[in-house]
Each structure stands twice: as C-alpha cells, then as structure tokens.
Structure 1
Amino acid sequence: MAEPDQRLFFLLQRAAHTLRVAADRRCVAAAGVTTAQVGALFAVRERPGITQRELAGALGLRESAVTALVGRISAAGLVTRAAHPREHRAVVLELSEKGVAALDAVRPEIDRFNADLRALLGERGFSQTADALHRLAHWQG
C-alpha cells in the first residue's frame, strides 16, 4: 500500500478548492450567494458599520478584492453603503433586509455542509481538523 501523500500545502490547496466548489454550489442553490459573499455578509452582520478596509482584514483579503466583492453584494442589494461619519473617503456597510434573508436562507445549508464534514471525518477528526486549521490560519510563518 502506498504511503499517504504528505505534501501538506498541496493537500490544503486541493481540499480548499474541493470544499469551496461544493459549498459554493450549495450556497448558490440555497440563497443565490457564493461562499465569499456569505463570509462578507456574516462579517457585516457581526460588525454593522464595518468599513471596506476592516472587512478586508476580517476576511484576510486584499482591499482591491474586497472592493470588487462589496461592489457585487451591493449591486445585488445585500448590503447598503453609506458615507463614513468621520473619514471622507471611507464607506460603512450594513446588511440590507435582502442580506439578512440571504443569510437566513443559507444557514441551514451551512449546517448540513458541516454535518456532512463531521460524518466524513468523525467528530474527533472534525474537531482536530478545525483546531489545526485555526492554528494554521493564524500562523505568522
């Protein structure tokens, strides 16, 4: 029997791609939003009035990527943009009613997706994987 692949970086990229494709398919079917959009909507819900710069930090993305993402979710009516009260170049983001409805619609699918991953990995494997990925996501390299 061949040894399991130990190229961790490659495996993480491959797993991330596989999971993103599967989760995107489910989220789009359930609520018409991608996982990237869901992540942004959750961040805006958690911090109403968040700026695009703060959103970029929360999502771990470049500001240019967040500008495009905010443009898409704003055009879809999922968030509203308003002038920042103190910074003339900044805008603040709030969830719209449509954004709240999208999160409500996608939440059961996210729960099912996590249940499927728990079934695949087992409860202990799921917890260990989540812990390891959390440490990797915050590693300073």
Structure 2
Amino acid sequence: MSDDQRLYFLLQRAAHQLRTGVDRRCLAAAGVTTAQLGALFAVRDEPGITQQGLARVLGLRESAVTGLVGRLTRAGLVARRPHPSEHRAVVLELTDEGAAALTAVQPEIDRFNGELRELLGDGGFERTAAALHRLAYWEP
C-alpha cells in the first residue's frame, strides 16, 4: 500500500479502535457512548443550543442529531424546551442526570487522556491534537 493510502487507512483504523474502546469505557462509567458524550458536552457548553446548532457543532446531519437527541431525552440526560423566539425550534438543556453523567465519566476521560499522553510521548499529545483539529475542520 502506498503511504498516502496507508495514512487514510490508519486514520480510519485509529478512529474505529478509539471509538469502540472508549465507548465501552464510557458506557461502563456513565452509561453513555462517545457520541452521546459529545452531545452532552456541547449542550453543557452552549446553554440553549438548538438541534440545528448541535448538528453544526458535532458535524452531523440534522436527521442524525434528531435521533441522538431523542435517545438522550428518553434517557433523561437532556430536556427540550420551546425556543424563546422561534416557534418551530426547541432549545436543549442538560438535566441534572446529564450533568451527573458528565461528572461520572470525567475520571475515565482523564485516565484515557493520560494513557494517550504516555503512548504519544513528550509533546506528542499536543501535536497530535493540533493536527487532528486541523484535519477535523479541513475542507478538501
């Protein structure tokens, strides 16, 4: 395999490996997946965010976010409230249960980040995070 094809493969493989492993850990710690965790952090960090805004933050289609928010609402982690000025929109709020899930999962996030820092070595964590950030927002 050429280097350029190999890099793409490795990015996909790494993403899958990280997502499945961390999902198991987050589910055990707080009963949430990494996708749900990302949504909970976004709702916490942007109080009053709409589903459309959440889709933009997460880089997902609105239809995918509708299902995600439905699952979070049914689990009692997020509440939907009428938007104060847009009659067809709703705003999302973190519930006490959602805040508790974020608190419960934080030690696992810290442990995971520590493991990555050890794996990537001095400065490697920060360089990797910066490179992944550039890739995540790159528009080829």
Using the size of structure 1 for normalisation, the TM-score is: 0.94
Q: Report the identity percentage.
A: 71
- The alignment status of 1:67 with 2:47, answered yes or no, reads no
Partner of 1:138: 137
Alpha-carbon distance, 1:5 to partner: 8.3
- The alignment status of 1:101 with 2:96, answered yes or no, reads no
Alpha-carbon distance, 1:137 to partner: 0.9
**Equivalent residue letter for 2:74:** A
SS in 1 for 2:10: helix
**Equivalent residue letter for 1:50:** I
Alpha-carbon distance, 1:87 to partner: 1.2
Structure 2 gaps, min length 5: none
Hey, what's the Cα distance between the residues in 2 that align with 1:123 and 1:102?
A: 31
SS in 1 for 2:87: coil
How many residue pairs align between the two structures? 139
Partner of 2:80: 81
Structure 1 gaps, min length 5: none
Hey, what's the Cα distance between the residues in 2 that align with 1:71 and 1:39?
A: 15
1:23-42 to 2 correspondence within 5 Å? Answer: 23-42=22-41
Hey, what's the Cα distance between the residues in 1 that align with 2:31 and 2:9?
A: 30
SS in 2 for 1:80: strand
1:10-49 to 2 correspondence within 5 Å? Answer: 10-49=9-48
SS in 1 for 2:84: coil
**Equivalent residue letter for 2:98:** G
Alpha-carbon distance, 1:123 to partner: 2.8
In angstroms, what is the RMSD of aligned CA positions? 1.5
What are the Cα deviations for residues 38-90 of structure 1, in whole angstroms up to 9, with x where unaligned? Answer: 10000000011100000000011110110000000000000110111111111
**Equivalent residue letter for 2:54:** L
Hey, what's the Cα distance between the residues in 1 that align with 2:128 and 2:30?
A: 27
